[in-house]
Structure 1
């Protein structure tokens, strides 16, 4: 394995971290809007709070494992540059594992996010919003 192998992950991890940051910013905006809304105590908002808390934690861990993967990838390149073949391979392997953990956490966050959308859709159906031939 040469130094270019771990270097291949750099653009992918960078884009992944950017996507995670966008998800965090979107979640922060949703939480702030819910907090500022006059109907803060509504049942729909209260049903979403546990999911929002879980999503905050998941995004925190997603980003942490993504950064860890990026750091380990850089250390693998350094080890390979310094002719530490075994250390480079081990660091690269752990980097891939950290990236996989980050992706699994990302999947869990998406599933929780879609559950929150179902809560809103169910409330819309209950209130009769959007019910009709085009809905």
Structure 2
């Protein structure tokens, strides 16, 4: 394995971390919006969303941590290869790939929860539309 093999992951991991940061910022914005809701009907939506939001925050934190550790492992791999420690470089690169894979799995799970949260909003919207049609 050459020094350029782990270097190929650098742009991918960097973009992935940027995407994870954007997801975190969207979560933070959503939580701030939910805090401003005050009516009784809105409180029932908030109650349904809180559990999902907490889980999504934990998952986003894990996604980011595993992504950073993957980036670090990739860097260690390059450094080991630079020093001529081929075996250590390959092991560090393998660990980096495993960490990146775990990060992506957490991301997939967070996307599933996010989709469920959107469905909660859609159900509420549909109920309001049906109530307006009955009135």
Counterparts of 1:99 and 1:18 in 2: how far apart (Å)? 14
The CA deviation at 1:14 is 0.2
Q: Matches of residues 75-86 of structure 1 in structure 2 within 5 Å?
A: 75-86=76-87
The CA deviation at 1:126 is 1.2
Can you list the C-alpha shifts for 1:44-97, whole angstroms capped at 9, x where unaligned?
Answer: 110010000000000000000000000000000000000000000000000000
2:49 corresponds to: 48
1:21 corresponds to: 21
The CA deviation at 1:39 is 3.1
Q: Matches of residues 3-18 of structure 1 in structure 2 within 5 Å?
A: 3-18=3-18
Runs (4+) of structure 1 exceeding 6 A deviation are none
Higher helix fraction (1 or 2) = 2
Counterparts of 1:127 and 1:11 in 2: how far apart (Å)? 45
- Unpaired runs of at least 5, structure 1: none
Q: Aligned with 1:38: secondary structure? A: coil
- Unpaired runs of at least 5, structure 2: none
Q: Aligned with 1:2: secondary structure? A: coil
